[in-house]
Structure 1
């Protein structure tokens, strides 16, 4: 039996049954909640490993649930919603969600998102404070103490902005970071010209760390939303 506990927050019984049946087949344990209030109480009472959250809940918007949980917990939250507009995805991710899956979704995609999330959790849990001074992902290595980046043991020459961007992504492996979040962290603001600058710096950074910029291995683009560092 898989020891991981998943909280499924979904008011539509058919969708809830699909999700719980799927995760049960793969031996995940689960709890269910049909509204925002019970989702918060279940989170407090059972401290799940991952939360699968619908945004359209009967008593409060899912983004409010995210904000409330984020006020005390870093539990990974994967949004599963029929809202497919970029603005809705960005709002949920900026509120603190880790990933966003749009309905209708395939069972395979749901399981893939869960695997990514659990890999990220495993990586975080296996990295002690002492080890955190060095980040290794595939052939990419970041020595935070020395401020150096290596690819296949060869040092890369990054600009200060490129280095700061790479470190931000590396410290959030597996999590989608929105343009707004990144630009605020890098420049302290989020204007249109900051997003344009972000795209330029991301392009130059990718040229230095990716073998094939058309098929990136380390940094994944979420069009109109942001970027994610993949665990290689």
Structure 2
């Protein structure tokens, strides 16, 4: 359940928004000005801020400046100030959206839902990016341990996967056979070059269009292997 902090010196505005946001499943906290809001912020877990601009003690602009020093929390301004320069100023300070007063409370709810959808989508994409290594038409799914070549899934053995994850995760870097062995097998290298060569050959069969002329898994003579950056 997401928690929203509403900051406005008009109690009626806070009450109205609280009713609508609560009815849509949100937990709501309230503050009457920016200074009071900072106290709430320090004590509570807040997922989104809705704030007026013109408030006593500390206005919305100053509140946003202080919050942005330590957080990128979603921030929505609601304000009776209709000057476009005020809207621009708020957005340039780091606000994510702006709604003018008087407003339809359902519009505010919709804006809040849209902000959360964008944040959730971005977070999902970041997680997916962390779970996938992709170079050219070669994609390695780190969660399923599957290799995809031009969209076609190819099974990998555990050691094939570990070697490919190492090389793709450090694309452009040359790894000696000793480095690969010690990182993948977790043991001191005993000079068995054939073992690494066999696995490299198997990987090339799965990811190269022409294994005899590899475009991705490159041999650096006298040194080791490198996965091309693409």
TM-score normalised by structure 2 residue count = 0.55
User: Aligned residue for 1:45?
Assistant: 43
User: Aligned residue for 2:109?
Assistant: 111
> Relative to 1, partners in 2 of residues 1:34 and 1:125: Cα closer, same or farther, differing over 3 Å?
same
Confirm whether residue 10 of structure 1 aligns to residue 27 of structure 2. Answer: no
Query: What does 1:68-87 align with in structure 2 at a 5 Å threshold?
Result: 68-87=66-85
Q: How large is the RMSD of aligned CA atoms in angstroms? A: 2.0
Provide, for residues 28-53 of structure 1, a one-character-per-residue CA deviation record: whole Å limited to 9, x for no partner. Answer: 10110111111112122213111001
Corresponding residue SS for 2:46: coil
1:130 Cα deviation (Å)?
5.8
Confirm whether residue 88 of structure 1 aligns to residue 83 of structure 2. Answer: no
In 1, the alpha carbon distance for the partners of 2:4 and 2:10 equals: 17
In 2, the alpha carbon distance for the partners of 1:132 and 1:54 equals: 37
In 2, the alpha carbon distance for the partners of 1:95 and 1:133 equals: 33
1:127 Cα deviation (Å)?
2.0
1:128 Cα deviation (Å)?
2.3
Provide, for residues 169-207 of structure 1, a one-character-per-residue CA deviation record: whole Å limited to 9, x for no partner. Answer: xxxxxxxxxxxxxxxxxxxxxxxxxxxxxxxxxxxxxxx
User: Aligned residue for 2:22?
Assistant: 24
Query: What does 1:130-145 align with in structure 2 at a 5 Å threshold?
Result: 131=129
Confirm whether residue 128 of structure 1 aligns to residue 126 of structure 2. Answer: yes
In 2, the alpha carbon distance for the partners of 1:27 and 1:133 equals: 31
In 2, the alpha carbon distance for the partners of 1:129 and 1:28 equals: 25
TM-score normalised by structure 1 residue count = 0.54
> Relative to 1, partners in 2 of residues 1:99 and 1:132: Cα closer, same or farther, differing over 3 Å?
farther
Corresponding residue SS for 1:127: helix
Corresponding residue SS for 1:64: helix
User: Any conservation in 1 of the 2:49–2:76 contact (CA below 8 Å)?
Assistant: yes
In 2, the alpha carbon distance for the partners of 1:121 and 1:129 equals: 12
Most deviating of 36-45 and 110-119: 36-45
Provide, for residues 93-113 of structure 1, a one-character-per-residue CA deviation record: whole Å limited to 9, x for no partner. Answer: 111110000000012211110
User: Any conservation in 1 of the 2:53–2:79 contact (CA below 8 Å)?
Assistant: yes
Structure 2: give runs of 5+ residues left out of the alignment.
137-230
> Relative to 1, partners in 2 of residues 1:31 and 1:130: Cα closer, same or farther, differing over 3 Å?
same
1:129 Cα deviation (Å)?
5.8
